[in-house]
Structure 1
Amino acid sequence: MSVPFVRAPGYGRPVEEDVELIGGVEKREIRIVEYDPAWPEHFRAEHERIATALGTTARRIEHVGSTAVPGLAAKPVVDIGVSVPDVAAESTYLGPLQQVGYQLRVREPGHRMLRTSARDVHVHVYDVGSDRERQHLLFRDWLRRDESDRSRYARLKCELAGREWADMNAYAAAKGPLIGEILARAEAWGTFP
């Protein structure tokens, strides 16, 4: 079942309505844990699996999101950014990723999100050179560098995790204003890697 929903404005993006949520809305517990030094190794294993499945179609495979920031509390879900030449050309990457165990969860303009059945890995696929790619990397790099914003982000996530949410997207939307504020500072600081 596919259900359209309004997406959180994460990484400074405007709210989008043209989104397909595969499987419908999910109510899940939001659990924030202390940084786990095993997350980078988990990423490396998933990187290998993705690189083997996609070959040269994957132009960039990066550890993104909170688990990519040493010392940052996070949901125990490793986020991976995969840049491809054309995210709309699903035939070039979707089948190979599904064959190695990833399941499509989100389809929206310029972005697909797949995840493992254990829901401990999210793979974000977007166009190489896109704003989404740049913002994921810039946000990660800024939080790795700036202790004040890293602490503010961690506090907000912990506070929000203590609330009841109808679905994960409402939690993500609540982080949007702070993410936008932090991303503005990151944009002033850095350039696309």
Structure 2
Amino acid sequence: MVDEAQPRDPAPAATAITAHSDFDPDDADWLVPAQPEHVVIAEPDPAWPERFRELADRIRAALGDAALEVEHVGSTSVPGMPAKPIIDIDLTVADSRDEDAYVAALEAAGFVFVLRERNWHEHRLFTNAAPRANLHVWGSDRAEAVRHRMLRDWLSEHADDRALYAAAKRAAAAKRAAAAQTADDPELVQAYNQRKEPVIREILDRMFRAHGLL
């Protein structure tokens, strides 16, 4: 789902869209330290799209024309997909490095600025407490945002890959990252993300080939 007020810039190059990147902890400037938590995979909730719309309205009210695109992405945007009950939103601005153009306005609207990743597409991450949401801010070159949108649409249309990804998510959530941990111990969400990443990349590469990008 997209809430779009302005025409898109030309699409990023195929090489930028198809390039996989590993999380770099040295590039992660945490303004609010990441906290361990239990990852819970919930069954699809028909309320998720409405929660996105409410959040998108807040973002647009806060930023006006500076919000070039506001898209519902991630598993809560895919009909029938189990997911962590956290709404993922991609916000495209002219230049994510220009924090003066959006940070204060988003904070005034209730979003918390938690992470800056300069080497990974100049990504900025905000969170919202209720409803729980992750707001990803990208510049107008938005290669990663294109990947997110393509994956959302692909999973919506391909039940086999949707089932494959759902199984990977459940398996990743059930497994502890370290042998010393037990099922009662929380962990950083990044460990969960890394365990399901091979399946995500398998699906992405299949999708890229189908679109003639690989």
Q: After alignment, is 182-191 or 105-114 more displaced?
A: 182-191
Q: Which range moves more in the overlay, 183-192 or 149-158?
A: 183-192
Please, which moves more after superposition, 21-30 or 77-86? 21-30
Partner Cα separation in structure 2 for residue 47 and residue 25 of structure 1: 24
In 2, distance between residues paired with 1:52 and 1:123? Answer: 15
Question: Which letter maps to 2:200?
Answer: I
Offset, 1:191? 8.2
- Equivalent residue of 1:183, what SS? helix
| Secondary structure in 1 matching 2:113 | strand
CA deviations 1:41-83 (Å, max 9, x no partner) are 0000001000111111111000000000000000000000000
> Which runs of structure 2 are paired with 1:41-120 in the superposition (5 Å)?
41-109=50-118, 110-118=122-130, 120=132
SS of 2:125's partner is strand
How much has 1:119 moved relative to structure 2? 6.7
TM-score normalised by the chain length of structure 1: 0.88
The residue that corresponds to 1:137 in the other structure is 149
Cα distance, 1:90 vs structure 2: 0.6
Identity of aligned residues (%): 35
Matched, 1:30 2:39: yes
Out of 1, 20, 34, the residue aligned to residue 12 of structure 1 is 20
CA 137–91 in structure 1, closer or farther in 2 if over 3 Å, else same: same
Asked if structure 2 preserves the Cα contact closer than 8 Å seen for 1:127 and 1:133, the reply is no
Q: How many residues align?
A: 182
Once the two structures are superposed, residues 120-144 of structure 1 have per-residue CA deviations (whole angstroms, 9 ceiling, x without a partner) of: 1110001123211111111111111
Q: Which of 163, 166, 178 is the equivalent residue of 1:151?
A: 163
Query: 2:6 corresponds to which residue?
Result: none
Q: Which amino acid is 2:37 matched to?
A: R
Matched with 1:168 is: 189
Describe the shift of the 1:70–1:26 C-alpha distance in structure 2 as closer, same or farther (beyond 3 A): same
- CA RMSD across the alignment: 1.8
Q: Which consecutive residues of structure 2, in runs of 5 or more, have no partner in the other structure?
A: 1-18, 178-186
In the TM superposition, structure 1's runs of 4+ consecutive aligned residues that sit over 4 Å from their partners are: none
TM-score (norm: length of structure 2): 0.80
Aligned to 2:27, what secondary structure does the other structure show? coil
Give the 3-state SS of the residue equivalent to 2:141 in structure 1. coil
User: Any unmatched runs of 5+ in structure 1?
Assistant: 1-10
- Choose 175-184 or 13-22, whichever is displaced more: 13-22
